């Protein structure tokens, strides 16, 4: 049976900012037809496009999903002090805490129109089991460090075994990255080893780079090099690299970024909350560097809402540079969809509404005060970037299956998740006393 979204406004994100009107037909996991002359076939499940707009599902290209267990903890601190406060709590999370934290985050993301996310966290098997329930797509990257706990080798070996033995990829929705946390939490030899394993499996290397000024100063003091030249010197940047943050870089380092085709996950709200700095968007834009938007984890943001990130990213660049033309509505939407898909090296699969792509689609209800008045040629585009809210998300399709209908998750028992997360959080904080 096919799924048909009938007569809807849609923005395919394939290069033109013009909204189109037509229907979208899906069979199995993929979009098989899109346009204005599609006649429903006998037995098609039809979703009405009346008063709605379809976009490619949002792609959150850097997250620590199960950190939702620690949402609201460690407020008002810069990164290093924040990590020092959060890490002991993370170490005390149980497998069940990771599972319910991941499921809560996946539920929050799906309900906000996010169809794919890149995770970097501990016990990624918990995220996998949560994915089995929620139906979201994800790039799972077990967080790897060897400076903090000295267990880096065991963690790497366990992660590689888990990846190599994975039998069920949930219809292609699960892919992997190797995720060494950062230069300050991983030694040089360890970074080299992890990068070599990633290259040999053609996996992205997902890490934090140049998030704070202090990271640069400490790296320079310890290694004689700034962060990016140091990683380049180690040979870590030669494969597929997904770098979160990339804030404090100089001209030479922007060039390394371009030459090495480093893909960037920009997390504006997290950067603002931890007072890390302002992302140098124009430097990357003029070099054609691939950039996607991301929320970062729910303990440093504190929600998982790409519509908010889009707006924040755009407004932040305008006020920081004095140039109101930067990150126009289409560019902001691109960073939340096609750009973020490319940042995950998944742009041949997701990120646009095109025949042959995986059917990951977010449908917004336009019957909201903030979408009026509008016209389809231009003002709706700016309403999507600057007015849309996650509460407008009506239907979400992942891999050709409806996962959110009438703003409710189809496969997740939402009431049970709220109950379980409360219970587990209460027990967790009792143990911490
Ligand atoms: Zn992060």
> Are 398 and 270 members of one domain?
no
382 shares a domain with 320: no
Tokens standing for residue 350: 């997701």
What DSSP letter does each residue of 233-267 carry, written as one string? Answer: HHTGGGS-EEEEE--S--HHHHHHHHHTT-EEEE-
Span from the CA of 358 to the centroid of ligand 1 (angstroms): 27
| 188 in a structural domain | yes
* Residue 316 in domain: yes
Rounded Cα distance, 357 and 32, in Å: 8
The Å distance, Cα 64 to ligand 1 centre, comes to 6
Distance from the alpha carbon of residue 244 to the mean position of ligand 1, in angstroms: 7
Q: How many domains does the chain have?
A: 2
* CATH number of the domain bearing residue 8: 2.30.40.10
- β-pairing, 205-209 vs 174-176, is unpaired
Residue 80 lies in a domain: yes
Whether residue 68 sits in one domain with residue 20: no
Q: How far is the CA of 372 from the centre of ligand 1 (A)?
A: 36
Ligand 1 centroid, distance to 297 Cα (angstroms): 6
Residues 284 and 395 in one domain: no
Ligand 1 centroid from CA 245, angstroms = 8
Does a structural domain hold residue 425? no
Which residues are close to ligand 1, an ion, with C-beta < 5 A? Answer: 296
**Which of residues 291, 318, 343 is at a domain's end?**
343
198/178 Cα distance (integer angstroms): 6
Whether 52 and 64 share a structural domain = no
Statement to judge: residues 374 and 385 lie in one domain: yes
Does 149 share its domain with 162?
A: yes
Report whether 239 contacts 199 (CB < 8 A).
Answer: yes
Mean pLDDT for the chain?
Answer: 96
Span from the CA of 214 to the centroid of ligand 1 (angstroms): 16
Distance 177 CA to ligand 1 centre (A): 14
In a domain, 108, yes or no: yes
Do residues 148 and 267 both lie within one domain? yes
C-alpha 429 to ligand 1 mean position (Å): 23
pLDDT at 194: 98
pLDDT value at position 149?
Answer: 67
44 CA distance to ligand 1 middle (Å): 42
Distance 21 CA to ligand 1 centre (A): 38
Cα-to-centroid distance, 346 and ligand 1 (Å) = 20
Pair 90, 33 in one domain: no
Residue spans of the chain under pLDDT 70: 149
In this structure, is residue 37 part of a structural domain? yes
* Spacing, Cα 313 to ligand 1 middle (Å): 16
What pLDDT, on a 0 to 100 scale, did the predictor assign at position 82? 87
Residue that terminates a domain, selected from 316, 343, 370: 343
* Residue 336 CA to ligand 1 centre (angstroms): 17
Nearest C-alpha neighbor of 60 from the set 273, 313, 336: 336
Q: What is the pLDDT of residue 180?
A: 97
Domain membership of residue 81 as a residue range: 58-343
Q: Are residues 299 and 207 in the same domain?
A: yes
Ligand 1 centroid to Cα of residue 145, in Å, is 14
The strands making up 205-209's β-sheet, listed across from edge to edge, are 205-209, 241-245, 263-266, 291-293
Task: Give residue 299 CA to ligand 1 midpoint distance, Å.
Answer: 10
Q: Of the residues 297, 318, 343, which one is the last residue of a structural domain?
A: 343
Cα(140) to centroid(ligand 1), Å = 13
- Rounded to the nearest angstrom, the distance between the alpha carbon of 302 and the centre of ligand 1 is 12
What spacing in Å lies between the alpha carbon of 208 and ligand 1's midpoint? 6
Closest CA to 256 of 220, 280, 232: 232
The reply to whether the predicted model has a pTM over 0.95 is: yes
Taking the centre of ligand 1 as the mean of its atom positions, its distance from the CA of residue 265, in whole angstroms, is: 9
CATH number, position 114: 3.20.20.140
Residue 351 lies inside a defined structural domain of this protein: no
- Residue 414 resides in a domain: no
Query: Are residues 326 and 185 part of one domain?
Result: yes
User: Which tokens belong to 250?
Assistant: 């100089």
One domain, residues 10 and 50: yes
Distance 205 CA to ligand 1 centre (A): 14
């Amino acid at each position: 049976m096919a799924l048909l979204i009938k007569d809807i406004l849609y923005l395919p994100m394939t290069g033109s900012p013009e909204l189109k009107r037509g229907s979208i037909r899906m069979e199995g996991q993929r979009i098989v037809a899109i346009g204005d002359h599609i006649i429903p076939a006998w037995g098609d499940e039809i979703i009405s496009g009346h008063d709605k707009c379809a976009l490619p599902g949002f792609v959150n290209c850097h997250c620590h999903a199960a950190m939702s267990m620690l949402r609201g903890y460690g407020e008002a601190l810069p990164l290093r002090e924040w990590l020092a406060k959060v890490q002991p709590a993370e170490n005390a999370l149980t497998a069940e805490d990771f599972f319910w934290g991941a499921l809560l985050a996946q539920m929050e993301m799906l309900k906000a129109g996010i169809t794919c996310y890149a995770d970097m966290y501990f016990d990624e098997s918990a995220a996998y089991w949560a994915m089995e329930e929620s139906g979201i797509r994800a790039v799972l990257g077990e967080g790897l460090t060897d400076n903090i706990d000295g267990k880096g080798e065991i963690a790497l070996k366990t992660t590689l075994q888990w990846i190599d033995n994975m039998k069920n990829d949930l219809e292609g929705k699960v892919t992997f990255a190797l995720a060494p946390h950062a230069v300050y939490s991983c030694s040089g030899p360890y970074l080299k080893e992890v990068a070599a394993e990633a290259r040999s499996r053609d996996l992205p290397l997902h890490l934090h780079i140049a998030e704070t000024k202090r990271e640069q100063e400490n790296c320079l003091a310890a290694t004689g090099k700034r962060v990016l030249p140091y990683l380049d010197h180690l040979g870590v940047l030669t494969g597929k690299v997904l770098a979160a943050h990339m804030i404090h870089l100089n001209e030479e380092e922007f060039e390394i970024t371009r030459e090495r085709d480093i893909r960037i996950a920009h997390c504006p709200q997290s950067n603002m909350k931890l007072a890390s700095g302002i992302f140098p968007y124009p430097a990357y834009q003029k070099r054609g560097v691939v950039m996607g938007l991301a929320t970062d984890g729910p303990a440093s943001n504190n929600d998982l809402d790409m519509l908010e990130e889009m707006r924040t990213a755009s407004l932040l660049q305008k006020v920081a540079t004095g140039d109101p033309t930067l990150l126009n509505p289409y560019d902001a939407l691109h960073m939340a969809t096609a750009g973020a898909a490319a940042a995950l090296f998944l742009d041949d699969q997701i990120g646009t509404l095109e025949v042959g792509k995986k059917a990951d689609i977010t449908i917004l209800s336009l019957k909201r005060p903030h979408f009026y008045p509008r016209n389809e040629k231009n003002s709706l585009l700016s309403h999507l970037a600057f007015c849309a809210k996650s509460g407008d998300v009506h239907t979400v399709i992942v891999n050709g299956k409806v996962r959110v209908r009438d703003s409710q998750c189809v496969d997740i028992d939402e009431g049970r998740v709220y109950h379980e997360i409360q219970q587990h959080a209460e027990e967790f904080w009792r143990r911490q006393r």
